[in-house]
Structure 1
């Protein structure tokens, strides 16, 4: 798939479903040479969830290093580093009173999707309709109705089911990027305390993440299902 075609698909998807913000192209990079020439590094330290939210609302595009990620847990599950012991053991969430006991917290954190530690050097972000790189994952923050329509379109040709997996923890990083990146499956998630605290994701919004290989069939099906009057 050429970049011009990718951008066209992004525009068409946004128009067909009347998405209020842009689908976000995300790429995990193991070597700096894969960063497009002229692409700027993000100018501040912030969280992955905030990066996704900023891109979808403002149309900004940038690349990041591990040091740019204020949430080290998010960076870790996306393969930039090892997860810190307090987070990995569940102690962090246990002391926030998110679990009734440490074992429950540990069990949950052990099942958070994650990319191989230190396998990712940079992460690239851009609105899908304007991206100048080929992403791994498309992250869409939108209403439950749009998630329903996207799910229906994804199943239009081959059928099956969308199987979501989430715990309200490490949501836009683990569920939104690491899960589809490592499994090739669509990810559906509801956000987490951090992503809903630090971003402008609304109470009535949720997240669906799609491996880029599924995009052409998705857009074609969405146009057939929702692009024309019944």
Structure 2
């Protein structure tokens, strides 16, 4: 992995969006040897995976195996523990009262993505601290920032109609397992569990994508900045650029794709 390119790309992301939290990278560890080699701090207390991601977004580096997981749902989603019949039948979700009956519970379970591997553990840390490519990148952002992320992604890869969410197992399944299994992006509105355990803000949601799509995505953000951002945002972006080492971008003020596109209330519509 080109570490200089990665750091430059993260700087570009910051200049374009100024995310509140650091981008996070998750790497699957498939054996004890890989776990021991992983450059992160082993947990000494149990912790849900989403809290690991929260701590990584604040600058911490963590590695964990099954005994460290404070949430078995995330261990199932990440392929660290095999799901049992009680879960696979939908009875687990039905017992929790999340869905109206067993049939709906099983339908949700069937459509929820679980990693199709058996991993020994995971390493979760700020993306900038990775020296080899992580498997998945997680971005915690606001709805506006998520819009810009999708615009940058669409610029590079075209229309994506596979977004998948149910407001449950947000960080582990929707933003890690699903992007990893499909090699594509996903957005999550979070879930009640992670909002309680990790303490996310009410205006935060999550985006997950495979690392191989992260660098093109950020370049897509760059390419769509002039056509999409209003001048007030462009001024803030320009200020961040001036304080960074990122190559300057020719920001065009007073112009974007919707300039002059919409009629005002005072304009008279002439029938044709």
Establish whether TM, by shorter chain, passes 0.5: yes
Larger mean CA deviation between 92-101 and 42-51 belongs to 92-101
The superposition leaves residues 39-81 of structure 1 with CA deviations (integer Å, 9 ceiling, x where unpaired) of 321232110111111111x200121111111111111111101
Q: Deviations along 1:169-206, whole A, 9 cap, x unmatched?
A: 22111111111111101111111121111112122111
Q: Hey, what does 1:187 align to over in structure 2?
A: 186
Counterparts of residues 91-110 of structure 1 (less than 5 Å): 91-110=91-110
Displacement after TM superposition at 1:103 (Å): 1.6
**How far, CA to CA, are the matches of 1:7 and 1:43 in structure 2?**
30
The equivalences for 1:1-230 within 5 A come to 1-35=1-35, 36=37, 38-56=39-57, 58-117=58-117, 119-226=118-225, 228=249, 229-230=251-252
- Give the deviation of 1:161 after TM superposition: 2.4
Give 1:157 shift. Answer: 2.9
8 A contact 2:38–2:123 mirrored in 1: no
Structure number with greater CO (CA < 8 Å, separation at least 6) is 1
TM-score where L is the length of structure 1: 0.91
Judged with a 3 Å threshold, the aligned counterparts in structure 2 of structure 1 residues 107 and 25 are, in CA distance, closer, same or farther, namely: same
Is the 8 Å Cα contact of residues 184 and 211 (structure 1) preserved in structure 2?
yes
CA contact (8 A) 2:19 2:140 kept: no
Q: CA deviation at 1:162?
A: 4.8
Match of 2:261 in 1: none
Contact residue 45 and residue 69 of structure 1 kept, 8 A:
yes
Q: Contact 1:153–1:222 (CA<8 Å) still a contact in 2? A: yes
Gaps of 5+ in 1: none
CA distance in 2, matches of 1:128, 1:62: 12
Instruction: Find the aligned partners of 1:93 and 1:51 in 2 and give their Cα distance.
Output: 24
Deviates more, 1:155-164 or 1:16-25: 155-164
The structural deviation recorded for 1:4 is 3.3
| Rg comparison, structure with higher value | 2
**What is the TM-score normalised by the length of structure 2?**
0.78
Relative to 1, partners in 2 of residues 1:158 and 1:177: Cα closer, same or farther, differing over 3 Å? Answer: closer
- Counting matched residue pairs gives 228
What is the Cα deviation at residue 215 of structure 1?
Answer: 1.5
* Deviation (angstroms), 1:160: 1.8
SS for the counterpart of 1:55 is helix
Return the alpha-carbon distance in structure 2 between the equivalents of residues 37 and 28 of structure 1: 10
The Cα offsets for residues 22-49 of structure 1, whole Å up to 9 and x where unpaired, read as 1110111213433445532123211011
- Residue ranges of structure 2 left out of the alignment (5+ in a row): 226-236, 238-248, 253-272
